[in-house]
């Protein structure tokens, strides 16, 4: 394919199948079956909508699913919606509420397993009261935690 089709080297839109100089639409990725048509792309740079067209953003009324497709509703496996995007789990700062994620200012503090660095330096066990204070406000603990305290007044 003629490099003039990829004016922006990051686009990789490609040329019409079997052609060296018929450029695909800017929303295409890796070639197309008809030049200059967002309806005939082999793959999409951004999103594909129901009629097969490639688009830069999901049109109003459609939701972004897994960063590459636009649908009217979130599928069951990614059924949580935030600002027109579908998620498997609510993003940070949001709380699950049925099929939606509601923004929350005081969400449960999620703490990561000690190996992941919630403690400085990372430790495997809670051995002192000061170690346990590092979990203050933590409502959800992702990972394992061992508590080994002796001679606590």
Show the tokens assigned to 2. 């003629």
Supply the DSSP string of 81-97, one letter for each residue: EETTEEESSPPTTEEEE
pLDDT for residue 54: 97
Over residues 16-56, the pLDDT tens digits come to 998 888 889 999 998 999 998 999 999 999 999 999 999 99
This prediction's pTM: 0.60
Strands 28-32 and 63-65: unpaired
Q: Which tokens belong to 114?
A: 């000690």
More confident of the two residues 17 and 151 = 17
List CB contacts of 141: < 8 A, sequence separation 6 or more. 110, 111, 113, 135
Select, from the ranges 32-46, 82-96, 115-129, 130-144, the one with the highest average predicted confidence (pLDDT).
32-46
For the chain, which domains are there?
Answer: 1-57 (2.10.220.10), 58-103 (2.10.220.10), 110-147 (no CATH)
Query: What pLDDT score was predicted for residue 118?
Result: 47
Closest C-alpha among 7, 52, 50 to residue 26: 7
Confidence band of 123 (pLDDT split at 50, 70, 90): very low
């Amino acid at each position: 394919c003629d490099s003039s089709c990829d004016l922006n080297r990051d686009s990789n839109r490609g040329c019409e199948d079997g052609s060296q100089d018929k450029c695909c639409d800017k929303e295409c990725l890796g070639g197309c079956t008809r030049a200059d048509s967002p309806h005939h792309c082999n793959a999409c740079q951004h999103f594909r909508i129901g009629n097969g067209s490639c688009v830069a953003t999901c049109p109003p009324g459609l939701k972004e699913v897994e960063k590459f497709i636009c649908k009217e509703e979130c599928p069951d496996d990614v059924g949580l919606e935030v600002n027109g995007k579908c998620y498997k789990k609510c993003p940070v700062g949001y709380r699950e509420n049925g099929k939606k994620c509601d923004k929350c200012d005081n969400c449960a503090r999620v703490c990561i397993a000690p190996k992941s660095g919630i403690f400085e330096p990372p430790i495997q066990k809670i051995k002192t009261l000061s170690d346990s204070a590092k979990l203050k406000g933590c409502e959800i603990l992702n990972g394992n935690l061992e508590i080994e305290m002796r001679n606590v007044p």
